[in-house]
Amino acid sequence: MTRRLAFGVDLGGTNVRVALGDERGRILARLSEKTQTKMGPEGVSKQIIRMIRSVRIEGLKLGDIEGVSIGSAGPLDIKKGGLMKPTNIPYDFVPLVEPLEESLGLKTLLLNDCTTAVMGEKFFGAGKEAENLVYVTISTGIGGGVYVDNHLLIGKDGNAHEIGHFTIDFDGRLVCGCGKRGHWEAYCSGRNIPDYVNLVLEEKSNEEIRRSLLAKIRGDEGGRITAKSLYEAAKNGDKLAMEIVEMIGNLNAVGFACVNEAYDPSLITVGGSVTLNNREHVIEPIRRYMGEHSRNRIPEVNVTPLGEDIVFYGALANVFYQDQII
């Protein structure tokens, strides 16, 4: 039996990752680079094309590839085949599908990265038996992918699941990268946790801050405590860091409750770098507090077994199992 091959692309505002895989979900080769956001709107597609062409395995020819599937941070314009004023890439429109198809001669598919990821969970991960499934990423940003009654939600532009832009703070104390106030992503994403930490510290006494590891960290990091250093301090038992992590967990629980009310899933799987690097500190507060904010029956909430490669798995599923995607 001839092995079927496809390229998967995981495109984010921070990194772009390319993988070659087969229909059984085996990843055969991979590359990762920082996303080129300063080379013009076409710079990203040129980077992806170069990365795909640089993948080398014995006997590989582009003509043997069935297609390319891109899972990208949004927002998308799937009709035009690109990104529409993306949050973390500074252009009004970033073309993707047409440049890849013209340059590589391969059918190219584009979906939101979390829509792609939930397909990975459905075909290769924990969601094989779930008819109502949500995948949530807590990473540079926050996003989601959704199956309702075995139907993959996409939306008119490909943005039916921009859950990171649910409003969780009606006072709008922090501004999201999209320019709107009070969004979940503005408080709990890896990029914006430092803003929330500073907001909390403004309400703490100098003495309380001085006794905390966060005082030294803030000095070492130029006044801006990163998500990584916050969670590391919490793991080391720092009282103030643990308190802030718990507050972030409660805010995440509000977001998850909104997801539960909107889509009524039986299973929510969670990934993204913030989650995968801090599993207990992210997941346990969500499980504890979600019921305080949600009317619907609480679903299972688990870390995805597919780890950081979940978008790759979904991209492969998008190429190989199009006839099963409804």
Q: How far apart are CA 206 and CA 201, in angstroms?
A: 9
How many residues are there in the chain? 326
Q: Considering the entire predicted model, what is its pTM? A: 0.91
- Report the percentage of the chain scoring pLDDT > 70: 98
Which helix (H) or strand (E) is 267 found in, with range? strand 267-271
- Looking at residue 326, what is its pLDDT? 59
- Looking at residue 37, what is its pLDDT? 86
Which residues are CB-neighbours of 49 under 8 A, at least 6 positions away? Answer: 99, 100, 103, 104
Neighbours of 194 (CB within 10 A): 18
| Whether the predicted pLDDT of 35 surpasses 70 | yes
* Overall average pLDDT of the 246-253 stretch: 98
* Overall average pLDDT of the 126-149 stretch: 95
Where do the domains of the chain lie, and which CATH numbers do they carry?
Answer: 5-119+309-324 (3.30.420.40), 129-304 (3.30.420.40)
Which helix (H) or strand (E) is 193 found in, with range? helix 193-201
